[in-house]
Structure 1
């Protein structure tokens, strides 16, 4: 065997191709190569996976379990190769064999396990936990269908099923012997025990089997491999049992089996009906019940099996309100199965569970109809009701100053169960995800809870894994950084700050510019291949990529584009630095206004891109089916990062961090983590505009804003809205009237028109700044230098020391 690592890898790949796929390597397809390389990675990873678990079993450290309805892991082949130290070797081996590595890596389908920032944050956190050698694992659901695959057909968003498991997923291992039974519906029986206490039993339930599938989470260059355990819902009966019954019963069983499998069928089932709402609630309980049963079973195998000390060895972090049923489920198991009294069970529960809040939007703070929860989960409802009674009584007797607030603080109120309230009351820590977000929670949205529990509230500003979002997706920039400051930033990302010494070094800036231009050329080629649109790779790449929601204000962005178009049509000789506006976003299938915005972006793009008067100066590109893999193509090429949410609405944002880390300059409101970016890089290296959070909240509270007044006084806005009303961008004059009426007759609820003037002025300044290329590159490098603060390694270290009380494990 050769000692040259590339030759050794090539030999291994050649042999594996014969044994795994029955082919000579020269006859292999890209798909064959993907599966064989995944097999090589698994052979390297799995022994470390086993050794990591054995280390945890032997040393019995405190562990954290991260419960989330989403884990947006993206493709894992490249990141696993990178973390194993094989990425460069594999890439060079494939080239040596005559294959295109990017084509091979693209064979992997993005896992349909999440939608947006919440799920991608969870994936980054798992990466950092493993890379920092912390004992921490994820629990989620193995959805067979992702959110949806987005197609743009005649400018409309069309949703088609995202069946991402059509082919074998090489990273998962099914462990049917570690399944658990989950109970729904049924009856609760109460019986008095000999000591006078009440005992509860749960009978006539519908049973679901939760089958775990484990995915290894590979730490960077440290041989630590943690786990992401995903639950799949299956019938507790085996197929052969169905054939022993009568034919009619057989078909009934098949219907029942299908209904059970729907629990892990879809990410975000349509909740516009009661059936959809109930399915979503089933998913949430399915996740927490299977996970907590599993955690307790694993704990009992340790040398300290007494659950009295459970919270000393276990921390459970619930990611947003979706897993809030973890609170009553842990109580249920401790009381009904482990025979603890209420007080002790409550003490253990509230010392074990911590809650991350991700939003101030009332519609995202989940509430379930009381009757639905009572019917579907009768024992869980009883426990929630008891928690609520004790909580409200506690306020009445211990906090008379808050008695009048009881209706708004109660967990059960107005025939609804308020999941955020349950999570706050049942946890020992409540954290926001950016400094301003946490302050808004404390001072406004959850002010009364903060008065009750000031010690619970804390901030943990989000982060992103720099290993994927710089080292993997932008290797040329990463290599350039390593050239000038050395490789230590890869494991200590704050050392990126050393780039400041080079922020005015012209030869270095020229190299940074070359890398950016190469990335823009690659994206321009992708855009041409996918859309047929030819874009100028010398133009400003102005990027907004995120979920489509009114508060994220893609509408403000496209209004700016329309404004520029109108200006150029009126003044064709006006000098304008060429600009390419790039959008990527999915709208929820039932979110009509969001889908209208997507249609508007595409309609405006069609007109501008085909208008000979302006098309060399403005291009508009909407890239369909935005996901992690598409983000990895766009982010390294971006010049401008659009972070333009209505101030106070974006909890943190993580796209702002990814784009900053790749040298894009932020144009944004003082919202979420934009504020912390501004505080680091300084006002001269970011473009801030618009209302601040206090001004927005004052308008909401006291009124005084009139969209119609702005329409009457700003000719630019009046022209744009009139164009919408008159059907200038549509196939008929009714096409965008919903948007027109929403702006003027629903009083522009997210202040698009109010911030328009400031936004336009800021973009004028951006264009002027871009013309001074050296100064622009200095700003870009300054942003990269400060981006190490936003590594998820920093975030996880804060969670570990300030919330979970866990420590890295040395093997």
Structure 2
């Protein structure tokens, strides 16, 4: 029905009547979205079933990607694009009186993720299906997303994100595939038939109910699955009614309510506040819930193959995305030993040949640790297994390094009353990968150096990638069409062919088209900003964009301080010719991260001052777009001229926003951090703007000292002026010491992320950006070079490396080519 516009229109009108009892004249935009989503689901239902049947029939090895986040964004437009139906549906809807872009706006951004970790997982799922791999996602179906961000008087206010309030057209509840998950209780040990048996009694059982979301491959009959687990009560309320007393004396009733509330909380919020014990406990519950439910589902699928469990590593790959799903390792051991009857050595061999691990951070505070008492009480049998893994691992270390108790303590999984999840992940997996070459080298040579010395064969690099079809074809269709006109369509399925664009960098007509398309995208974003923020933005100005999670190491503060400096420079010399610039921010700060929220307040103070000052008109504008999301990113990124990737060198594991901006023709202002290093190697320093400390210099400061932020404050009048602006009433500070927390972080706490150390170089680099932007043709040439080399950073390329080098899976074609 989607191959023909007229068939589509007829089917659509029939569905509208049969499902909703409405005519086209009565339908709302929400109705149109719902019917269109249902039509797509029905259209791919057969392929979805056939994909799963083919995997089973051919006994294909399948990969399961366990992640606490899947930041999938909106699926309507992406699914239509991948199915090759976008233009047909757009034209058909237009003839029925509706604009497809308006209908896409009806879909909520799925509240299943927060930042780069979750977006990477979503990009991987898209590439896995498009390339024909048997690869699925395993996550949690959060009732509420991280939070909906509102800005009130410059302050971030967190509101619930009820993204499921109107239902979710793409999901399918699979009641028949629910599995039990247990918490608490105690372990009883006994002997049965000559073997030791461990049984958990007095535990609290809940149901994990899966909701499946189809993952549609581009131009492919493959439809893989994102399985999201919802926590539900395992107690039938009816049993409480027999003999129940009325009124408050009915303890059974109230105990049920407490139990039911605690169960629902497991899949209620993404990243509950863990600043207190209860929040930490809930996070641990979430992680075990995901791991236990996901593994039971994986093993049930494996058992349908009719193979012995010795074949598990040959048919199943379980990948853990960061440390959050690390409990997969002891949980798999528990199932193999307690339920399948394996001995320890056999179970351990199967486990470490099945599980692989991606590390996403070098920051010690982000390498998860859990209190021993919490793990022991909540997961008594799992803790016993972790304890045994640790005992055996430490014993092996002492045999290999006699007398090195210091080394054993550093590498132990359980140490100082904490369970170290990153250590467990490394010890219990066959592959440990970083997400950019620099990040991996820092892992091997610093953060996990002793583990690399012990298991060098396990460590490898897999630089992150992005779904180029979403971030170029869907987000920037005009640029996509220009690329196709220039080099054909081969890049869509082979993104590295984008390199062929480089031959147009000196083509004046092609450069003009690049500039025209960018200007059109800026006009659309300007309209969005005026509509949402009430701010008039000049699309002729340079759009300088920093959109990402708000964190100290990402250094939105450096950007804000530099804008304050530019403001002073204009005020000091108002007649000087200046390039009109618009600085655009979007970011959420974690609710408990006070410093980050203060930085948001500072950005709004700067925005208010700059935008109200008549002398800034035509020179300087600042915008903060609230409630950053995937769908908002799809509007911002194609419009950016400059991409701010200014993290402290050695702190950003990779970044993926840098790749999205690059693919859309923005030029990077950045440090040599994360994947910026590899971008620089491909396009050269002349096509980006580098500044700041190198990672080895940062590491040297951390290890040996020698950095004094106050010296820079005293020496550089620009720095002194903007820092004094934080605490002295003036253009940015409404009352005495308003931003003292930020001031103290930089001077009293010696500027942990070297904001002041890099300030002068950053300011000089921005002066170079201004000079370069005046030459529009040369800027366009640099933009073309960036686009041309962005295909290397497609998630298609990354997934191929994971598939061949880690998961050992291959594209599945034969079962489908018959059709």
Structure 2 length-normalised TM: 0.98
Q: How far apart are the structure 2 equivalents of 1:526 and 1:6?
A: 31
Alpha-carbon distance in structure 2 between the residues aligned to 1:621 and 1:310: 53
Structure 2, unaligned stretches of length 5 or more? none
The question of whether the paired residues in 2 share the 8 Å contact of 1:727 and 1:736 is answered with: no
Taking the aligned partners of 1:315 and 1:194, their CA distance within structure 2 comes to 33
**Which of residues 524, 535, 538 is equivalent to 1:536?**
538
Q: Which piece of structure 1 moves more, 401-410 or 157-166?
A: 401-410
CA contact (8 A) 1:395 1:403 kept: no
| Alpha-carbon distance in 2 for matches of 1:303, 1:614 | 72
The residue that corresponds to 1:204 in the other structure is 202
**What root-mean-square deviation, in Å, do the aligned CA atoms of Structure 1 and Structure 2 show?**
1.1
Matched, 1:74 2:73: yes
| In 2: Cα distance, 1:800 partner to 1:317 partner | 11
CA offsets, 1:261-303, max 9 Å, x none?
A: 1000100011011000000000000000001111111111113
Look up the match of 1:431.
433
Structure 1 counterpart of 2:299, from 291, 296, 303: 296
Aligned length: 808
Superposition map of 1:16-55 within 5 A: 16-55=15-54
CA distance in 1, matches of 2:28, 2:549: 34
What does residue 5 of structure 2 align with?
Answer: 6
Q: Which runs of 5+ in 1 are unaligned?
A: none
Instruction: Tell me how far apart the structure 2 counterparts of residues 535 and 242 of structure 1 sit (CA, whole Å).
Output: 62
Match of 1:119 in 2: 118
Q: SS where residue 503 of structure 2 aligns?
A: helix
Q: Measure, in 2, the Cα distance between the counterparts of 1:727 and 1:372.
A: 48
Q: Which residue of 1 aligns with 2:718?
A: 716
Retained in 2: the 8 A contact 1:144–1:266?
yes
Please give the alpha-carbon distance, in whole angstroms, between the structure 2 residues aligned to 1:55 and 1:101: 34
Are the equivalent residues in 1 in contact too, given 2:725–2:733 (CA < 8 A)?
Answer: no
d(CA) in 2 for partners of 1:717 and 1:94? Answer: 56
Flag the 1:95–1:419 CA change in 2: closer, same or farther, 3 A: same
Aligned positions of 1:213-362 closer than 5 A: 213-244=211-242, 245-247=244-246, 248=250, 249-304=252-307, 306-362=308-364
Partner of 1:496: 498
Name the structure 1 match of 2:749. Answer: 746
Looking at structure 1, the residues matched to 203 and 255 of structure 2 have their Cα atoms a distance apart, in angstroms, of 17
The CA distance in 1 between the partners of 2:365 and 2:65, in whole Å, is 24
* Contact 2:727/2:733 (<8 A) preserved: no
Work out the CA distance in 2 between the residues paired with 1:26 and 1:785: 46
2:580 equivalent in structure 1: 578
Paired with 1:573 and 1:704, the residues of 2 have a C-alpha distance of 41
Specify which of 786, 789, 793 is matched with residue 786 of structure 1. Answer: 789
Q: Which of 411, 417, 423 does residue 421 from structure 1 map onto?
A: 423
TM-fit CA distance, 1:31? 0.5
Answer yes or no: is the 8 Å Cα contact 1:64–1:314 preserved in 2: yes
**Partner SS, residue 27 of structure 1:** coil
Match of 1:764 in 2: 767
Q: CA deviation at 1:161?
A: 0.4
- Contact 2:185–2:380 (Cα < 8 Å) also in 1: yes
Of 602, 605, 613, the match for 1:603: 605
Shift of 1:243: 3.7
Question: 1:779-809, CA deviations, whole angstroms, 9 ceiling, x for partnerless residues?
Answer: 0010000000000000000000000000110
Of 718-727 and 400-409, deviating more is: 400-409
* TM-fit CA distance, 1:447: 0.3
**Residue 516 (structure 2) pairs with residue 514 (structure 1):** yes
Contact conserved, 2:553 with 2:648, CA < 8 A, in 1? yes
Three-state SS of the structure 2 residue aligned to 1:739 is: helix
Whole-angstrom distance in 2 between the partners of 1:402 and 1:471: 56
Equivalent residue for 1:553, pick from 552, 555, 575:
555
SS in 2 for 1:726: coil
| 2:483 pairs with 1:481 | yes
Describe the shift of the 1:14–1:194 C-alpha distance in structure 2 as closer, same or farther (beyond 3 A). Answer: closer
Partner in structure 2 of residue 149 of structure 1:
148
Are the equivalent residues in 1 in contact too, given 2:475–2:638 (CA < 8 A)? yes
Residue 526 (structure 1) aligned with residue 528 (structure 2)? yes
1:727-769 residue CA offsets vs partner (Å, 9 max, x unmatched)? 3323311310111111100000000000000000000001100
Q: Is the 8 A contact 1:182 1:210 kept in 2?
A: yes
**Whole-angstrom CA distance in 2 between matches of 1:762 and 1:809:** 48
Measured in 1, the distance between the counterparts of 2:398 and 2:498 equals 52
State the partner residue of 2:58: 59
SS in 2 for 1:358: coil
Quick one: distance in 2 between partners of 1:587 and 1:428?
A: 35
3-state SS, counterpart of residue 157 of structure 1: strand
Per the alignment, in what secondary structure is the counterpart of residue 597 of structure 2?
A: helix
Q: 1:175 maps to what in 2? A: 174
Alignment partners' CA distance in 1, 2:198 and 2:11: 59
Question: 2: distance between equivalents of 1:526 and 1:202?
Answer: 57
| TM-aligned CA distance change 1:4 to 1:310, over 3 Å | closer
Counterpart among 406, 412, 429 of residue 410 in structure 1: 412
1:674-685 aligned at under 5 Å gives the runs 674-685=676-687
Cα deviation, residue 403, structure 1: 4.5
Counterpart Cα distance in 1 of 2:231 and 2:530: 42
Distance in 2, matches of 1:432 and 1:544, equals 24
Secondary structure of the residue aligned to 1:599 is helix
Choose which of 692, 695, 713 in structure 2 pairs with 1:693: 695
Report which stretch shifted further, 14-23 or 727-736.
727-736
Residue 241 of structure 1, CA deviation:
3.4
Change in Cα spacing, 1:490 to 1:447, as seen in structure 2 (3 Å) is: same
Shift of the 242–735 alpha-carbon distance from structure 1 to 2, 3 Å rule, reads farther
Mapped contact 1:30–1:103 kept (Cα < 8 A): yes
Moved more, 679-688 or 25-34: 25-34
Looking at structure 2, the residues matched to 242 and 111 of structure 1 have their Cα atoms a distance apart, in angstroms, of 36
Greater Cα offset, 371-380 or 401-410:
401-410
The range that moved more, 261-270 or 402-411, is 402-411
Name 1:91's counterpart in structure 2. Answer: 90
Cα distance in 1, alignment partners of residues 236 and 765 from structure 2: 64
Q: Deviations over 1:686-738 (max 9, x none)?
A: 11000000000000000000000000000000000111110332331131011
246-255 or 293-302: bigger deviation? 246-255
* Pair 1:755 & 2:728 matched: no
User: How far off its partner does 1:401 sit?
Assistant: 8.1
C-alpha distance in 1, partners of 2:459/2:539?
47
Cα distance in 2, alignment partners of residues 530 and 795 from structure 1: 36
TM-score (norm 1): 0.99
